Structure 1
Amino acid sequence: MLEQLLIFTRGGLILWTCKELGNALRGSPIDTLIRSCLLEERSGDASYNYDAPGASYTLKWTFHNELGLVFVAVYQRILHLLYVDDLLSMVKQEFSSIYDPKRTAYNDFDDIFQQLKKEAEARAEEMKKSKQISKPLNNSNLGRKQGQVQNSSADGGNKKKSGGKSGNDSGDDGNLKGYPKKNENNNYGKSEEVPSKIDHNNKENGTSNANAFDVNKLKLRSKGGKKTAPVANKVPKEEPKKKVTKKNRVWDDSPKEAKLDFTDSVSENGEENISVVAADQGESMMDKEEIISSDSESEEDESGKDNKADTKKKGWFSSMFQSIAGKANLEKSDLEPALKALKDRLMTKNVAEEIAEKLCESVAVSLEGKRLASFTRISSTVQAAMEDALVRILTPRRSIDILRDVHAAKEQGKPYVVVFVGVNGVGKSTNLAKVAYWLLQHDVKVMMAACDTFRSGAVEQLRTHARRLQIPIFEKGYEKDPAIVAKEAIQEASRNGSDVVLVDTAGRMQDNEPLMRALSKLIYVNNPDLVLFVGEALVGNDAVDQLSKFNQKLGDLSPSPNPRLIDGILLTKFDTIDDKVGAALSMVYISGAPVMFVGCGQSYTDLKKLNVKSIVKTLLK
C-alpha cells in the first residue's frame, strides 16, 4: 500500500499531499531524501531506501524541471509496488497542467489523484496477468516445436534406411545440393570432379585450373631479385653507419647551493636547537586566503570542444538556430554528447568512473524537460549545471569549525579529542604535526597521544615532532592496547590543562579485520569529537574503496547501535598531483564527509583549506 505522495517545489514549499492516505511516517524519510540524495546530486538513482526504528521505506521521485516541482512517493519496502513509476508520471502530467505559481493549495487535485491511482493499479494488474498467461503459452509452443523437430528427424532417418528411389523423390539422385553428381559407374565425372588439394610442385598431375594463381610464376619472377632484394637489405646496411658519439661534459661554473641538509642544528653539547625550527616556520597556510583568477578563456574553449558532438549530429545550421531561438524542452538525446564529454573529462582528472557516471546521470535528470534559453548552447548549459552540482557536493553539509569547537569544549572543562585514521604510509603522523602547529598559532594548548603501538619507530617519530614543536606527548611504548593508551592520554590532558588531544593511530588496510576491530574499539571507548580520515590525493579510484570500507568496518564492528563514522577528510600530497584532483570529489561523494585539511608540502606550514571553487574549476578545465 502506498504510504504517502507529496508534491513540493525546489524551494521546499509543499503544494499537495494525499489526505486520504494520511499515514504517519516513522522518522523523517522526506527530509533524509532531500539531504542525502537530492542535495548530494544522487537524483539519478532509481530509488532510495530509508530505514527507521520499526519501519523501512522505499522512496521514488520524479522532477518537472521547467516548473521546478518534485514528486515523491513513499511505500513500505517489503511490498514492491509495480505501479508507482507509472503513477508518478501520470500525477506529474496532470498536476503540471493545473499548476499556478501563485497558488499554494490544490484541494481539487484529490479526486484526480484517486482516479489516477485506480488506473495505475488496474494497469499493473493487467500486466501481471498477461505475464502469467504468456509463460505457459511459450512453454507449449516450445514443446510443439521440439516435437516437430523430432518428427522431421525421424522421417529423415526412415528415408535413409529405405534408400534407393524412395529417398530420391525430389529428383536430385540422392545427392546433396551443391555437390557434384555421380555417373552410372557410381564415380564422379571428370567435368564435375571433386577438387583435391592443390599441389603446385607435382608435374605429373595433368589437370590444371586456369583461374588458380600459379605460385611457380611468382618464384620465377622473384629470382631476378632486382626489385625485392634491395628492399630487404636496406635496413641492415644503414645500421653500421650510425655512430654513437659521446658528448663532452659541460662543467657548470655556477656557485654551489647553500646546503642540502635541512636537519636541526646541533649545539656543542649534542643537544638540538629546537627554538630555531619554531621561529623559522612562519605562518600556516591555513590562515591564508587563496586567490583564484577569473579568466573564462579555458571555459569557452572547453565548451566549444563539447559542442562538436552536437554539431556533427545535428548539423551546423540546426545547432546555430537552436542556440539563437532556444529549444522548447531539452531531451536526453540532446544532453548525451555533452555529458559524455564531461564524464571523460572528469575521469581524466582522477574521478572514479562510477562516480562520474552517477554525476552525469544526476545532471541529466535535473536538465531533462527544461527549456533552453536563447543564445545558449547545450554544452554550456550542461557545464553550468555540472559546476553547480560539484559545488554542492564539495561544500560541507554541516559546518565544522575546529577552533570554535575547541573553545566550546574548554568551557565545559574537557579536552577536544581528534583521532587520525587511515591506511599505511599516507602521512598521518606528519600531518598530525601540521595540525598541531596550526593550533599552536591560535594559542591552543596541544598534546599528542602516541597510540600507534603496532609499527616500529612510530612512537619515536611522534616524539621527534613533539620535541620540535615543544609540546607534550603521552606514550606507553609498543604492544599496548591503543584504546587504553588514548583513554589515559585524555585523562592526562584533563589534569595538565591541555585544550586538544591529537591521537595518532596505526596505519591499516581497509581489509585488515583485527586492526579495524582495534580502531573501532578505540573510537567506541573514547568517543572522540572528530574522526579524521587521512588519505592520499593521488590514489584515484582506490580512495572510494578505502573510505567506504573504513566506514563499513567502523559501523559493523562497533558495539554501539549508533556507531561513529568518519567526520572529515585530510588529503595529503596534494602538491604532487598537478590537476588530477578527482580524489577529493570521489572521497566526499562516497562518504558525505568534507575535506577539512589539505597537505601540500613537507614543512609544518604546508597545510591549507580546500578551495571549492578552485577544485571545481580544475575539474572542468
Structure 2
Amino acid sequence: MLEQLLIFTRGGLILWSWGNALKGSPIDTLIRSCLLEERSGAASYTHDSYSLKWTFHNDLGLVFVAVYQRILHLLYVDDLLAAVKREFSLIHDPSKKTLYPDFDETFRQLKIEAEARAEDLKKSSNAVTAIGGNRKQQAANKAGHDGKKGGGGELKNDGEGKKGRKLENGDSVVVANDSNMRKSSVNGKENESSNVGAFDVNKLQKLRSKGGDVKKKKITDSVVSKVEPKKVVKKNRVWDESTPETKLDFTDQVGGGDDDGDRKVDYLAKEQGESMMDKEEVLSSDSEEDDDDDVDVGKKSKPDAKKKGWFSSMFQSIAGKANLEKSDLEPALKALKDRLMTKNVAEEIAEKLCESVAASLEGKKLASFTRISSTVHAAMEEALVRILTPRRSIDILRDIHAAKEHRKPYVVVFVGVNGVGKSTNLAKVAYWLQQHNVSVMMAACDTFRSGAVEQLRTHARRLQIPIFEKGYEKDPALVAKEAIQEASRNGSDVVLVDTAGRMQDNEPLMRALSKLIYLNNPDLVLFVGEALVGNDAVDQLSKFNQKLADLSTSLTPRLIDGILLTKFDTIDDKVGAALSMVYISGAPVMFVGCGQSYTDLKKLNVKSIVKTLLK
C-alpha cells in the first residue's frame, strides 16, 4: 500500500501531497542523507520500516517522492512517479507558490491506472512462467521416453569401466571413469585439445633441470663480476645482568647508536616549529585549472565513437539544447568516471557519483554557448565539493573548551586497521593540541600488539606528556575508563586513547572495540586510514561502521565521527581515497598526515582535492 506521495521544489517548498502521516521523518532523512549528499543516483532509499523512491524534473526544479511500507513490493511505483511527473509538469506554474488541490482527482486516476497496469503485467508474467514450466516438463518426459526406447544412440560398456555414447554420425567419445582426464576421438583420430589441462610430470622435471642450470650459470657470472664490499664492523653492545637499566634504554638517543653517547633527544615539539594544521595552504594557479581544458572532457571517453560535425556541435553550443537526455550525458560521464578511478576513487563510488550527476542534469535545458561536457564537469565539481565539505562543523578546540567548562576531559579514540600509523598520528595531534595550550594525556589501550605501549611511551617522553598504561593482556575498555578517571583527577583537558589495529573482519577484536566505545562514550571516534588504499577504503570503513552498530548493546550505537588520513605525502595525485571514505561513511576528513615529524599534520583542503580529482 502506498503511504505517501509528495511533490516539492529543490528549495524545499511543498507544492502537493497525498497520503497518511508517517512515523518519524523519512523524507527529511532522505533529503539530508541522499539528496544533499549526492547519493540520488540509485533513486531508492530505506529508512526504518519505509522504502522511498523518487524522481526529478530538473528543468522545473521539482522532486517527486513516493513512500511505501518496506515489506511490500509495489510494482507500480516507478510507473506512477513517471505519470505524476508528466501530468504535474503540464499544470505547474513556476510563479505560483501555493498548493495544487485540483491535482487530487488527477492523481487518483493515475494511481488506479498504474495499479491496473501492474496487475495485468503480473498476470501475464505468471502465465508465461506457467507455459514455460509446462514446456520444460513435456520436454523432460519426452527425453525420458526416448531414453527408454534407446532412440538417438545407445550406451555401451567396453569391459574396462569405460562408457561411451554412439552418435548419429558414427563418431564416439570415450570417458575414463578411473581418472579425471578425458580423451576424445573423432573419426578415429585423437583430439589433442582435450588434454590441455593434463599435468605432465616429465615436462616439469625437464624444465626444472634446465632452469636450474641457467640459474647456476647466472649466479656464477654475478659472483665473478661482483666486488666484495668492505664490511662495516659495528661495536658490539654488552648485554649483561650487571648493566644498569638506564644504559640499556636507547630510545632517547638520536639515531639510537653508541656514538651518540649520552646525548638525549631535546627534539621536542617546541623546537620543531608550528604545526601545519594552523597554516593555510595556498593553491597554485596552474594553467591546467582553466575551464578551457575542462570542457573537452567528453572527447576522451570513446575514441571510436562517431563525432558530430563542426556545424552541428557549434549550432548546439550557440542555440542550446531543448532538454538533456541520458544519451547526451553518457560520453562525458564515462570520461569523468575513468578519470576519478585513475585518481584512486573506488569504482563503486565513481559509478554512483556519475549516476547522481546524471539524475541532476537529465531533462535540464542546456544554456546557450555551453557545451555538454562543461556542464557535466561543473555539476561533478559542485557534487564533489558538497560531499567533501562536512555536514556539521567539528571544531575540536571549541569542543575541548566546552568540555572543560563542564569539568570533564575531552576523549578521542583512535581506531583503524593494522599498520596505518595510529600511534604516530596520535602523537601529531597531541603536539598540535599542546601548541594551543591544551593539557593532554595519552592512554595506552593497545594491550594486544607487542611494543605498542613502549612506542607510545617514547612519544609521551619526547612530547613531555603524561601517559596512562597498564601493560599488556588487559581489557582495553577498563584501561581507557581508568585513564579518563585519572585525567579528571589531575586536570588534563584531553585524553587521546590509542587502540590496537584490527582488521574489519576480526570479530573478537571488533567486539572489544565496540565495548570500549560503549563503556567510555568518547567525544570523538577517529578512524585512521591510509591514503594509499582505493577500493579497500570502502570495505574498511563500511565494515567498521557495520560491526560497531551490530556489536553494540546500545539502541543508538556510536559510529565513526571523523577520519584521519595518513601517508598523504606518498600518493602524488592519487587522492581518491579521501573521497571514497567520506562518501561511504558521511564522516569528514579532519586531519591529514603528510610526513614523519610531529608538525606534519594538515587540514584537508577541499578545493585542492577537487581540483586534483578533475585535473
Normalising by structure 2, we get a TM-score of: 0.80
AA paired with 2:279? K
Structure 2 match to 1:381:
375
Structure 1 residues not aligned, in runs of 5+: 159-175, 178-194, 198-245, 247-260
In structure 2, relative to structure 1, the CA distance for the partners of 1:111 and 1:306 (3 Å cut) is: same
Equivalent residue runs for 1:335-354 within 5 Å: 335-354=329-348
Retained in 2: the 8 A contact 1:567–1:593? yes
- Are positions 1:86 and 2:83 aligned together? no
- TM-superposition CA deviations, 1:101-134 (whole Å, max 9, x none): 2212211111111111111111111111222233
Structure 2 match to 1:617:
611
In structure 2, relative to structure 1, the CA distance for the partners of 1:526 and 1:143 (3 Å cut) is: closer
SS in 2 for 1:313: coil
SS in 1 for 2:432: helix
Retained in 2: the 8 A contact 1:267–1:273? no
AA paired with 1:17? S
Cα offset for 1:563?
Answer: 0.9
Structure 2 match to 1:38:
35
Structure 1 match to 2:485:
491
Question: Alignment partner for residue 517 of structure 2, among 523, 532, 543?
Answer: 523
Retained in 2: the 8 A contact 1:59–1:75? yes
Structure 2 match to 1:510:
504
Inter-partner Cα distance in structure 1 for 2:474 and 2:148: 81
In structure 2, relative to structure 1, the CA distance for the partners of 1:95 and 1:402 (3 Å cut) is: same
Tell which structure's C-alpha radius of gyration is larger: 1
Inter-partner Cα distance in structure 2 for 1:95 and 1:334: 25
Inter-partner Cα distance in structure 2 for 1:509 and 1:46: 33
Structure 1 match to 2:293:
301
Equivalent residue runs for 1:99-118 within 5 Å: 99-104=92-97, 105-118=99-112
Equivalent residue runs for 1:93-242 within 5 Å: 93-104=86-97, 105-140=99-134
SS in 2 for 1:533: strand
- Are positions 1:363 and 2:363 aligned together? no
Inter-partner Cα distance in structure 1 for 2:452 and 2:138: 76
- Are positions 1:394 and 2:388 aligned together? yes
Inter-partner Cα distance in structure 2 for 1:559 and 1:603: 39
In structure 2, relative to structure 1, the CA distance for the partners of 1:157 and 1:459 (3 Å cut) is: closer
In structure 2, relative to structure 1, the CA distance for the partners of 1:479 and 1:327 (3 Å cut) is: same
Inter-partner Cα distance in structure 1 for 2:271 and 2:13: 56
Equivalent residue runs for 1:49-64 within 5 Å: 49-51=46-48, 56-64=49-57
Inter-partner Cα distance in structure 2 for 1:268 and 1:44: 61
Cα offset for 1:428?
Answer: 0.6
Structure 2 match to 1:279:
270
Structure 2 match to 1:204:
none
Cα offset for 1:391?
Answer: 0.8
AA paired with 1:513? E
SS in 1 for 2:7: strand
In structure 2, relative to structure 1, the CA distance for the partners of 1:282 and 1:127 (3 Å cut) is: same
In structure 2, relative to structure 1, the CA distance for the partners of 1:146 and 1:527 (3 Å cut) is: closer
Inter-partner Cα distance in structure 2 for 1:427 and 1:492: 26
Please provide the CA RMSD for this pair: 3.0
Structure 2 match to 1:250:
none
Cα offset for 1:451?
Answer: 0.8
In structure 2, relative to structure 1, the CA distance for the partners of 1:373 and 1:417 (3 Å cut) is: same
Structure 2 match to 1:420:
414
Retained in 2: the 8 A contact 1:510–1:546? yes
Inter-partner Cα distance in structure 2 for 1:127 and 1:79: 17
In structure 2, relative to structure 1, the CA distance for the partners of 1:72 and 1:196 (3 Å cut) is: closer
Inter-partner Cα distance in structure 2 for 1:574 and 1:289: 17
Larger deviation: 410-419 or 304-313? 304-313
Larger deviation: 538-547 or 301-310? 301-310
In structure 2, relative to structure 1, the CA distance for the partners of 1:501 and 1:146 (3 Å cut) is: closer
Equivalent residue runs for 1:453-472 within 5 Å: 453-472=447-466
Retained in 2: the 8 A contact 1:449–1:486? yes
Question: Alignment partner for residue 315 of structure 2, among 307, 321, 325?
Answer: 321
AA paired with 1:64? H
In structure 2, relative to structure 1, the CA distance for the partners of 1:138 and 1:514 (3 Å cut) is: closer
Retained in 1: the 8 A contact 2:321–2:366? yes
Equivalent residue runs for 1:240-255 within 5 Å: none
Cα offset for 1:315?
Answer: 1.6
Inter-partner Cα distance in structure 2 for 1:363 and 1:139: 43
SS in 2 for 1:101: coil
- TM-superposition CA deviations, 1:218-266 (whole Å, max 9, x none): xxxxxxxxxxxxxxxxxxxxxxxxxxxx9xxxxxxxxxxxxxx955999
Question: Alignment partner for residue 58 of structure 2, among 34, 52, 65?
Answer: 65
- Are positions 1:554 and 2:551 aligned together? no
Cα offset for 1:385?
Answer: 0.7
Retained in 2: the 8 A contact 1:543–1:587? yes
Inter-partner Cα distance in structure 2 for 1:433 and 1:143: 71
In structure 2, relative to structure 1, the CA distance for the partners of 1:148 and 1:325 (3 Å cut) is: farther
In structure 2, relative to structure 1, the CA distance for the partners of 1:457 and 1:67 (3 Å cut) is: same
SS in 1 for 2:364: coil
In structure 2, relative to structure 1, the CA distance for the partners of 1:65 and 1:294 (3 Å cut) is: farther
Retained in 2: the 8 A contact 1:310–1:319? no
SS in 1 for 2:316: helix
Inter-partner Cα distance in structure 2 for 1:496 and 1:266: 38
Normalising by structure 1, we get a TM-score of: 0.79
SS in 1 for 2:295: helix
Inter-partner Cα distance in structure 2 for 1:146 and 1:491: 75
- Are positions 1:25 and 2:22 aligned together? yes
AA paired with 2:123? K
SS in 2 for 1:40: coil
Cα offset for 1:301?
Answer: 2.7
Retained in 1: the 8 A contact 2:297–2:332? no
SS in 2 for 1:534: strand
- TM-superposition CA deviations, 1:164-215 (whole Å, max 9, x none): xxxxxxxxxxxx99xxxxxxxxxxxxxxxxx999xxxxxxxxxxxxxxxxxx
In structure 2, relative to structure 1, the CA distance for the partners of 1:134 and 1:498 (3 Å cut) is: same
AA paired with 2:59? E
SS in 2 for 1:502: strand
Inter-partner Cα distance in structure 2 for 1:533 and 1:570: 6
Retained in 2: the 8 A contact 1:410–1:499? yes
Cα offset for 1:48?
Answer: 0.6
SS in 1 for 2:413: strand
In structure 2, relative to structure 1, the CA distance for the partners of 1:619 and 1:126 (3 Å cut) is: same
In structure 2, relative to structure 1, the CA distance for the partners of 1:148 and 1:509 (3 Å cut) is: closer
Inter-partner Cα distance in structure 2 for 1:304 and 1:449: 53
Inter-partner Cα distance in structure 1 for 2:423 and 2:75: 54
Inter-partner Cα distance in structure 2 for 1:535 and 1:154: 66
Give aligned-pair identity as a percent.
79
AA paired with 1:506? A
Structure 2 residues not aligned, in runs of 5+: 153-167, 170-186, 190-224, 226-252
Cα offset for 1:81?
Answer: 1.0
In structure 2, relative to structure 1, the CA distance for the partners of 1:280 and 1:122 (3 Å cut) is: same
SS in 2 for 1:605: coil
Retained in 2: the 8 A contact 1:286–1:608? yes
